[in-house]
Every structure is written in structure tokens, then in C-alpha cells.
Chains A and B, each alone.
Chain A
Amino acid sequence: MNLFRSVSSSRYCDGSITASIPAGCYTDSSTDDVDIFYKLLRQWRMETLWISSITEAINRPAFKKIVKMGEKVLPLILEEISVQPDLLVAALPIITGEDPVHETDRGNLPAMAIAWTEWYREHRC
């Protein structure tokens, strides 16, 4: 299921580009927001591999750093959770201050990913 086919990790839907990532040619850059996001995401996913507690998972420093990157990483988060919904969705209400998820969908990560994708299309694109 890919809910967000039109967004690539190199272009936000408002037209701004933070990095172009030609396939097979990407090089690290410590100042590149996309690279920083993915490094933090990889670190966080490895650190939370055995963790069931949502509280513990979102209190990890790497997750907090992702949140601190703010709205510029919304397209990256949405792209990630459209491919594989996971607790990264928890960053969205913290970053945006919004909560479009229906009460009956709490804990249902695919449903939450859909709710957020629809919210993003309506409010940020």
C-alpha cells in the first residue's frame, strides 16, 4: 500500500527542494535535512526494536530530534508510514498540534496513516 505516491523524499508538495537524490548517486551530507532525518530514523528504529511501550519509544532522543526538525519532515514521515505504518506516526500530532485520527482508530497504524495523509492533503498542500 503506498498512500503517497506523488511525494518523493527530495521534493515537498509546496515545490521546495531540500535535496535531490538521484538513484545510486546519493552522498552523505551532515547539513542535509533528508540525510539527517533518515539517520535519526534508522537509529530510532534500531533502538526501539524490542520495545513495546509507546511512551518509551517516543521518548527516545532520536525520536525527539526528528520531532524537533518540525514540519519540513512531514512529507518524509508520511512517505515512510505510507509504505510501512509504524510508531513514526506519533511524531505527527506532536509536530503539527493536530489530531485527525478517529477515536476508534487508536492503535491502528494503517488507519492512522490514512487519516494523516488525508489531513496533509487538505491542510498543507
Chain B
Amino acid sequence: MATSLLWPLPGRNGIVNIGVDEILSAFPALNPEKLAITSPATPLYNCIAWAGGDTYRKWWPDVTRIGYWPKGVPRIETITAFQMAFETLGFVLCASDRLEDGQEKIAFFHKDKIPTHAARQLPNGLWTSKLGESFDVAHDLHGLEGAQYGRLALIMQRATK
């Protein structure tokens, strides 16, 4: 289902329509048959927050201190720091992205060792991601690899609540 951006961009262009076609253009490795937009667009949370189940703020260890970052975790943009951030939520390193009963999995992406994105596995084996300032989508995991988000960095897991 295509969904428009819900907030108007300023100026004469007004609402800008962004949908599945635009997502597939930005992420050409995605399997279109496994892709679905699952929320309205919102800038209130980002992919890291969404992966951790937080929908009311952005998570990021930026030096300007705009983003939320867990207390006690180094505020630096490294995969290790992101791993530590999710250890505060009870996640531990995991070797496989395969669906496992009783386990909730998170996948981190990186470009040149700088984290770019996180996705969370769904009970049906697909993954869910907040794409930047836009939508939540359900998708195949490796379909997000490419120019925008780089490559998979690591997988973490915790027992399902």
C-alpha cells in the first residue's frame, strides 16, 4: 500500500507523495513481494528507537546531544557502542538471523564501520524497519543492504517477552 508523507513539506509543493516505488528506488535489493508499508510517516522516532521498541524519541549518540542515548553507554558512533546500547535492553550477540522460537532479534547495518540502521525481526521471519524520517516497513533483511545503509554488521537477540 502506498502512503503519502503525512506532514506537508513547505512551499508550493505541499504534500509530497512517497510510496513503495520510491522505497524500491532507494533500496533496489528489496524483494517487492515481501515489502509492505506498515505505518504512517513520522519523524518522531528513528530506526534505532523502533528496533528497541521505542516510538516516542530518536536514539543516536550524536555529539550535539539531540538524540537519546542510554546512560553509561559511550556516546560514539561505533558498532560496539550500539551493541552496548542494546545490551541495556537485554539483547546479546547472536550468530544467526534465522527465525528462532522464543527469540527476538535485531540486526545492525553499517557503512565503513559507522552504524547506519537497525531492523527488528517479526514473528513471521520478515523484518521491520523505520526508514529514516518516513515509514515503518516490513521487508526481507538483506534487501536493505546497498548504497543507503551499507552492509549487515551484527545480529543480537533476547528472549521474547
Contacts and interface: CB of A to CB of B under 8 A. Distances in A.
Given A84-B43, A87-B43, A39 B64 contact: no
A52 B68 contact: no
Interface in A36-61: 38-39, 41-42, 45-46, 48-55, 58
A48 B18 CA distance: 13
Q: What's the dominant secondary structure at chain B's contact region?
A: loop
Contacts of B12: 26
Contacts of A52: 46-48, 58, 60, 116-118, 130, 132
B11 A89 contact: no
A26 B10 CA distance: 13
B67 A107 contact: yes
Interface of A is mostly: helix
B2 to A, nearest CB: 15
B58 A50 contact: no
A109 B67 CA distance: 9
B77 A108 contact: no
Nearest to B63: A55
Interface of A: 26, 38-39, 41-42, 45-46, 48-55, 58, 80, 83-87, 89-90, 93-94, 99, 106-110, 112
26 contacts: A42-B10, A42-B13, A48-B133, A50-B27, A50-B131, A50-B148, A51-B132, A52-B130, A53-B62, A53-B115, A53-B116, A55-B63, A58-B66, A85-B44, A86-B7, A86-B133, A87-B43, A87-B66, A90-B66, A106-B66, A106-B67, A107-B66, A107-B69, A108-B56, A109-B44, A112-B66
